[in-house]
Amino acid sequence: LPGNPAPRDCSGRAAAYQQPLPLGGACLGPEGPLRSLLPGLAVNTAITAAAVAEDAAGSSTAAGAARNAAHWLGSSAMSKWNVGDQVLCHGKVAVVRFVGEVKFATGSFVGVEFLKASAGKHDGAFEGVRYFGPTAPERALFLRMESEALMPYTPEDEAATILQAQVRRKEATEQVQFAKTFKAYSNMESRGESERLINNVYSKTASTILDDEAEHGEGGGTKPMPPKTPKTPMVPMPSFEALQLEVEPEASDGGDITARAPRLDFIVDDVGRTSVDRACLDAVLRHVKRPGAGPLTAGCMARLIKAGMDLLRKEYTSALNEIESPQLPGRVVVLGDTHGQLEDVLWLFFEHGEPSANNVYLFNGDVADRGTGATEIMALILLFKIWDPNCIHMNRGNHEDPIMNETYGFRDECVDKWGVKKGNDLFNAFNTLFQYLPLASLIDNEVFIVHGGLWRRDFRLAQLRRLPFRRPLPERPGVGTDILLFDSVWSDPHEGKGIGSNARGDAIVSFGADVTRRFLKADNLRLVVRSHQVPDSGNGYEWHHAGKTLTVFSASNYCGDCGNLGGALILMRGEQDQIFEHWAPPLEELQLLEEEADRAQARIRSQARCFSQQKASRKKARERMELDIIRRVQELVVRRKAELFEYWAEADTSPRGVFCIPATLWREGCATILDDSMPWVRLQEAMGVADANGQVHYVKFLTRYRVAFDCSFGLSAAGWERAVWSKLMETLLRADLPLREALAALDATSDGLVSAVEFARLIESCHVRITPLQSRALLRSLAVGQGRAAGTADPEQSWSTTATQANAGRVSVWDMLGRLTVSLPVASASTAEPEAAQWAVSMLRPLAAAVLDDAWNRVVPAGAPVSDWPVAKVLAAWFEDVDRTHNGYLDEEEFVAAVATLAPALQKGGCPTDTDSLRRLARYLDVVGNGRINYFELMNGLTWEDSLGNDFREDVVETLHASIFFNIAPMRASLRRFDLELNGQVTPEDFVKAWRAVSTALTAAGDGNDSLGRSQITEIASHLQRTPSGEIDYEAFLRSFRIVDTHLLPTPR
């Protein structure tokens, strides 16, 4: 490539070979049995020939395998062909029909006729000249005499070729499926990281709210909070002493495995520079290589971080680290993301040599998170850095920041290894250290290395050098220097032009080839190297922008799921760039390899075995990734349930109550509402959503996945769930709206249907403190209930008519009113005596029967179909008929007068009809206690059977669960401000205060769907169990929420 020497692409099994091979050699790669490599490939000839023979063993004889191997390695199997020879051409049986010169080109050609397949391009005539034939159409083909596509025919070779073709087709199909799954998995992971950025915005807003409340003495918290969070993004760098991390002796940590960890003996010279001798470094290396070895002690890590911080503070004074590579044969080894996968780092040290003055390593960010060995990798980096500052370097990635570390495992790793107190102290110390790392490195003034990529604006290296980089990474690009900080660790390349969108999220950009060209030209560079993402191919590297941008990713079999190779880039002065790929063996195998005398042969055997394992694991890796994708889809479905229901209901043309749509429409809705990068055809099959006719019952699909409260952590949800539900329904009942106002609020267009907008207006007019998401869940459940009722009706009735698009997603006003009742009557505010309430409840059923009979006899038009007059509508008609004052209410006298006319029916049901008894019933129905009965109060009293059903109740409760589940990160961050003891417990007052701050932050950011009302938060807090000290175990509470598939598991209660 112009300006960029061709890379030494050492993919596949050849990655570990170190012996030179003459130009024109070949080796096995991951994508097929054989492929030629670019000049300069390092490969062991003998091993490669053996591998070729092994892959060619489709032949039934060793001689056939050897002949094929010799042919593919360039031996001259045949220099001349004769007419009539039977041959294999491109693996298909053919006969030579012509040998000689032709008019359409110079040189000798062979013309063949295929016997069994139409694999040719003509019938023996070409460009108006017939050379042989005519054959059947498309059975003839010309090839040059020396073409390697021609081989002598043998039955064994034909069988081997057919077998190899079948294997290749199968592998190609599997590779396509793997690539699609891998890309979806990668996009899913990227979007998850972007969502974490958004959550951190909520956390910071909530923190600011708590700061303001503390400053003005609001909120009623009981524990003192840490000092106020600075609002300026330029956070001053704390000193090591400010971290309050005790540098204690190692022996104090105890523990059998940890106690055997080596001590760190630092050497301090006359000028105060700290160093470490090689023996100490080797002791730590041996320790971390031992399977099952415990971590270094907390005191040891504290001293190491302090020494590293002092060194980085002095060395990295600019955001751009300018490195001069060592003289030949010295080199720079560039590694991409390692993500806590210690095995990869140790293998790379074994394969390419440990860091030294002539073998310089550059870690291009994202050492932390995902894996459980990040602290060991950081310890090795710091030790090598202290031993020889020039032998190892590290750029900062987007995971060298607490925003990611809180969620993706680095904090948990620290706490698991050193306990809550020491682990959190070391976690904070590491994140302070990360802020001293440069954003990018420049090798020999020609190769620019950055974790993410280039920026949405054209910046020069001079601007990067001036960037104040010792600060937390921003959650948003912002303006000015924030753009440099943000895009350096978050952007990705795309193959178009200019700055484009990014699947990771709205705030993140992709940069095109023209952006790369301008950047390289402006500062006279030749290559951009970045990391940040696993290549979609599953390789350890990927080229972009016509070879001007290179992605290197070093964590093989990423997260234990992906089945990808790891990669490393080697840069040498004036030499061609080299790319090596690997599949890291487990620590046990690495130990055995190091003990072998012939390390080169051991390395070859190990990598050959590992690449074989990698190839065999692709199918299992795809299955594991699919399971992770399905879990992600479940989260998306739960989060976007309302939007999915509205999308599918709008397009649903099935009969009322059926709720079935074609699978194509299901996939369309999922791609539009959830994520268009997901393989929805494959997911449809894997999740089993379609029936034998290709139809999807979308209501069953939506109710299949729920956020459930898991009681296994010692908490019970029953109390606060019931309390929130009862509060919601009681508030609606006590709104005390007159009949016509209630109906107008429900159905403003007077078309008999309630839309989402109309229902939201009702909720607002009633001052019901529920979120918009809960309101939509209520309406969705009402629509589903209406459909279920309709599904049981006579097909000849109007209930079974096909829903039109105009009515889709809306609910009959009477069906909705008939279901908006509580499971038992809400006691009147004026009813203080339990005996009186018990008597009143026993009289409600005969009263309801008498009222409904009267309405059917006097008010409902004669001959009206029962299906057109649900109970709610019948009661509304009766209510309006007996409302003599026409004010929308029944005062006590109106109610007594109307019911007195029903005396015979009441007496038949055992209900007394004297005036005092009727007044007692009126007072019981008057829930508000204002001397009058509104329509909802009448409904509550006369239709009190459980019309809601469990599904309806669960839909609303689930919105509470979802609001918590999807905001665990900002809730935990806010609660930790009050948890000074780091024991996972806070007082109920602080619990409410922290949660309200998060809810306010969500509303301020326009994400009110996920917020909860103040009364709901208070109800939840008041019903949560208390610890013996009277506090709430918020960690157990937050861990109790998870998404379940109700088709597979019972919802935990």
Q: What is the β-pairing status of strands 26-29 and 32-36?
A: antiparallel
pLDDT at 725: 52
Q: Angle between the 935-942 and 718-733 helix axes, to the nearest 10 degrees?
A: 130
Mean pLDDT of 666-676: 94
Which phi and psi angles does 331 have, rounded to 5°? -160, 170
DSSP string, 7-63: PEEE-GGGGG--SB--TT-EEEETTEEEEE--TT-B--HHHHHHHHHHHTTTSSSHH
Residue 565 DSSP one-character state: P
Q: Is the peptide bond before 329 cis (omega within 30 degrees of 0)?
A: yes
Q: How far apart are CA 180 and CA 360, in angstroms?
A: 36
Written in H, E and C, the secondary structure of 286-305 is HHHHCCCCCCCCHHHHHHHH
Of 36-45, 237-246, 381-390, which range is least confident?
Answer: 36-45
Segment among 342-356, 456-470, 486-500, 585-599 with least mean pLDDT:
585-599
The number of residues making up the chain comes to 1053
Kindly report, residue by residue over 882-928, the tens digit of the pLDDT: 999 999 899 999 999 999 999 999 998 889 999 999 998 998 888 88
What residues does 364 pair with on adjacent strands? 395
In the predicted model, what is the mean pLDDT of residues 343-369?
96
Name the residue with higher pLDDT: 232 or 475: 475
Question: CA of 1038: how far to CAs of 173, 197, 482, 708, in Å?
Answer: 43, 20, 33, 12
Asked, as a colleague might, if the bond just before 249 is cis with ω within 30 of 0, I would say no
Do residues 906 and 854 make contact, with C-beta atoms less than 8 angstroms apart? no
The DSSP secondary-structure symbol of 271 reads: T
Residue 432 confidence (pLDDT) above 90: yes
- Are 787 and 699 within 8 A, CB to CB? yes
* Rounded CA separation 481/464 (Å): 9
pLDDT, greater one: 559 or 737: 559
Percent of the chain whose pLDDT exceeds 70: 74
Please check whether residue 978 is in contact with residue 221, taking contact to mean a CB–CB distance below 8 angstroms: yes
Reference 461, options 433, 488, 499, 489; nearest CA is: 488
Residue 130 has pLDDT above 90, yes or no: yes
Contact 744, 938 (CB under 8 A): no
Predicted TM-score (pTM) of the model is: 0.71
Question: Pairing state of beta strands 359-364 and 331-335?
Answer: parallel
pLDDT band, residue 59 (cuts 50/70/90): very low
Q: Check residue 47 and give its pLDDT.
A: 34
- 966-1004: pLDDT as tens digits: 999 999 999 999 998 889 999 999 999 999 999 999 888
* Weakest-pLDDT range from 73-82, 669-678, 819-828, 893-902: 819-828
- 442 has which bridge partners? 322, 448
Q: Annotated catalytic, 399? A: yes
pLDDT tens digits, one per residue of 708-762: 887 655 555 555 555 555 655 566 666 666 776 766 666 667 677 777 777 676 6
Enumerate residues 6+ apart whose C-beta is below 8 A from 884. 894
Q: CA distances (Å), 458 to each of 445, 462, 499, 522, in order?
A: 19, 12, 11, 10
Q: How confident is the model at residue 375 (pLDDT cuts 50, 70, 90)?
A: very high
Q: Tens digits of per-residue pLDDT, 257-296?
A: 444 688 888 888 777 788 899 999 999 999 999 998 999 9
Residue 72 clears pLDDT 50, i.e. is over it: no
Q: What's the mean per-residue pLDDT of the chain?
A: 80
User: Over 60: is that where the pLDDT of 227 sits?
Assistant: no
pLDDT at 196: 86
Two tokens, residue 172: 């190609």
pLDDT at 761: 67
Residues 6+ positions from 366 with CB-CB distance below 8 Å: 336, 337, 338, 339, 397, 398, 399, 400, 451, 531, 532
Within 8 A by CB and 6+ apart from 958, the residues are: 638, 706, 707, 777
How far, in Å, CA of 684 to CA of 763, rounded?
36
> Omega into 988 within 30° of 0, i.e. cis?
no
> DSSP H helical segments within 471-571, as ranges?
481-490, 513-522
Taking the C-alpha atoms of residue 122 and residue 133, their distance in angstroms, rounded to an integer, is 10
β-sheet bridge partners, residue 337: 553
pLDDT surpasses 60 at 1007: yes
Q: Fill in the DSSP letter of residue 125.
A: E
pLDDT at residue 16 greater than cutoff 60: no
Q: If we measure between CA atoms, which residue out of 243, 200, 201 comes closest to residue 432?
A: 243
Residue 159 has pLDDT above 90, yes or no: no
Compute the distance between CA of residue 450 and CA of residue 104 in angstroms, rounded to an integer: 52
**Bridge partners of residue 167, in order along the sequence:** none
Comparing 212 with 381, the larger pLDDT belongs to 381
Give the pLDDT score at 731: 63
Catalytic residue among 339, 352, 399, 451: 399
- Most confident segment among 472-476, 809-813, 837-841: 472-476
Q: With CA atoms as reference, report the closest residue to 448 among 485, 395, 384, 495.
A: 395
pLDDT tens readout for residues 186-199 = 888 888 888 888 88
Q: Does 345 score more than 50 pLDDT?
A: yes
Tell how far CA 1000 is from the center of its chain.
26
Q: State the average pLDDT over residues 139-159.
A: 90
Largest CA-CA distance found in the chain, in angstroms, rounded: 121
| Cα–Cα nearest to 830, from 732, 931, 912 | 931
HSE (side-chain half, CA atoms, 13 Å) at 606: 24
> Cα separation of 633 and 683, whole Å?
9
- Helices and strands: H and E segment counts in the chain: 37, 36
Distances (CA, A) of 174 to 58, 180, 616, 723: 20, 10, 11, 52
pLDDT digits (tens, 9 = 90+) for 584-642: 989 988 888 887 756 667 667 766 766 677 777 778 888 889 999 999 999 999 989 88
The share of the chain scoring above pLDDT 90, in percent, equals 44
Q: Is the dihedral of CA 632, 633, 638, 639 positive or negative?
A: positive
Render 710-772 in DSSP notation, one character per residue.
Answer: -GGGS---HHHHHHHHHHHHHHHHTT---HHHHHHHH-TT-SSEE-HHHHHHHHHHTT----H
- Res 3 pLDDT > 70: no
For residue 655, give the DSSP letter: B
